[in-house]
Amino acid sequence: MSKEYLSSLYQVAVDASRPQYCLPAALTRFAPDQRVCILGAGKAAADMAAQAYQYFGDNAYGAVVTRYGYETRQSTGNIEVMLAAHPVPDEHSEYAARKLLDIAATVPAGEPVIFLISGGGSALACLPGGDITLPEKLALHRFLLRSGASIDEMNTVRKHVSAIKGGRLAAACKGELTTLAISDVVGDSPAMIASGPTVQDTSTAADAVAILQRYGWDMNDTIARHLETALPLPQVGGFYEIVANAQLSVEAAIEIAKDDGWETHTISLEETGEAQEVARRHAKLALEYKQRGEPIMLFSGGELTVTLGDSQGEGGPNQEYLIALCEALRGEPTICALAADTDGVDGSKDVAGGYIDGTSLARAKEHGLNVGELLAQHNSFPFFAALDDHINVGPTRTNVNDFRVIWVK
């Protein structure tokens, strides 16, 4: 029952960050009978729009863009829900960005504008700046995703080659601006959530150039020329509130574990770094608790990375973390673990993550799998597929990044 119990804790964490639970209180600062423009982007945007419609009714109008499959089951009234690709944008991402900017430009002075922003917005609302073409920007996105760059580094680059990010969506508005955000970035920096389309940003084009050079981008192209002459990001203001983040989600799960009688320890809510390295550190900690005979649940959040290089492996950071954890635990029978992304998608496949226990290594060997080779190839997906230990929940319509728990029994 270990897998079922840890899966239930993951579901508690996801539910805590769903728009229907975290957004309504933030909307009460507005009178429901006033006309309001709603603009949004991200994996939670459609369900956030549904909550706005439930509160304002037909007084709300506008548009949001979300990932294919993340459309809401609820009515959004006069708020259009557009669909686009993630993590690599497509032509619908470009269309959506133009539509959001066009609507923003029509809002009368003084009319309230509520931006509903969540993780994934960087790709879903994507409009290249200057002379950069969409194929060129898509190539940049693919490069950044495989480079090992952190989400902060990726978003710094994205906003300086964009016509909508880095405060530019807010700068297009004359109305009274409010942003309500579900954070998917470590540290909850408003400038990094969806690349900050509605907030002031202090980064420069030179910062973007330095990041691209660090990871080996060819600086002899249109993007490099654009960054050489890019204008500073606009000055914007307005009210900003984060309505859900990793802390809210992980702590909701921790409360349930405590209520069920378990001791808990939060390793960190802001874990970053290579998935394999973090896994080995967490395994060492779990084994220390085991050796002391102390039953405990070890929780962590944040966002891990996998530097793919030339690897063509399939999977994601949570699955890679778990395989490395499994290898480091060496079949310890008293320890099991779950790691999954709260948006329901971990890396290149539409699974949220996976589960391991003391039998995982032996079962993998029975299936002819070499854990060391899978780790070297960053090919985590086949491991969990063979063991039937994927966590597969479908679109969650929210995103506060990784949820991880190690159970030392």
228-243 average pLDDT score: 94
**For residue 36, what are the β-bridge partners?**
60
Question: 174-196: buried (b, 16+ CB within 10 Å) or exposed (e) per residue?
Answer: ebbbbbbbbbbbbebebbbbbbb
Which amino acid is residue 21, in one-letter code?
Answer: Y
CATH superfamily, region 246-408: MOFRL domain (3.40.1480.10)
Residue 380 has pLDDT above 80, yes or no: yes
**For residue 112, what are the β-bridge partners?**
176
At 367 the pLDDT is 97
Cβ neighbours around 254 below 10 Å, total = 20
Assigned fold of 18-244: Rossmann fold (3.40.50)
Mean pLDDT of the chain: 95
CA–chain centroid gap for 33, Å, is 33
pLDDT (tens digit, 9 = 90+) per residue, 340-378? 999 999 987 889 999 999 999 999 999 999 999 999 999
Strands 60-67, 36-41: pairing is parallel
Here the tokens at position 135 are 């194929």
Q: Residues with Cβ < 8 Å from 387, sequence gap 6 or more?
A: 360, 363, 364, 367
pLDDT (tens digit, 9 = 90+) per residue, 256-267? 999 999 999 999
Half-sphere exposure of 337 toward its Cβ, with a 13 Å CA cutoff?
A: 32
Count of helices and strands (H, E) across the chain: 17, 12
Residue 220 has pLDDT above 90, yes or no: no
Question: Which SS3 state, helix, strand or coil, does residue 353 take?
Answer: strand
| Cα angle, residue 37 at apex, residues 33 and 39 outer, rounded to 5° | 140
Percent of the chain exceeding pLDDT 90 equals: 90
203-220 average pLDDT score: 93
18-244 with 246-408: one CATH topology?
no
Question: Which SS3 state, helix, strand or coil, does residue 122 take?
Answer: helix
φ, ψ of residue 10 in degrees (nearest 5): -60, -40
At 261 the pLDDT is 97
Q: Any idea where the domains of the chain sit in the sequence?
A: 18-244, 246-408
Helix (H) or strand (E) holding 21: helix 19-22
C-alpha 304/C-alpha 290 separation (Å) is 25
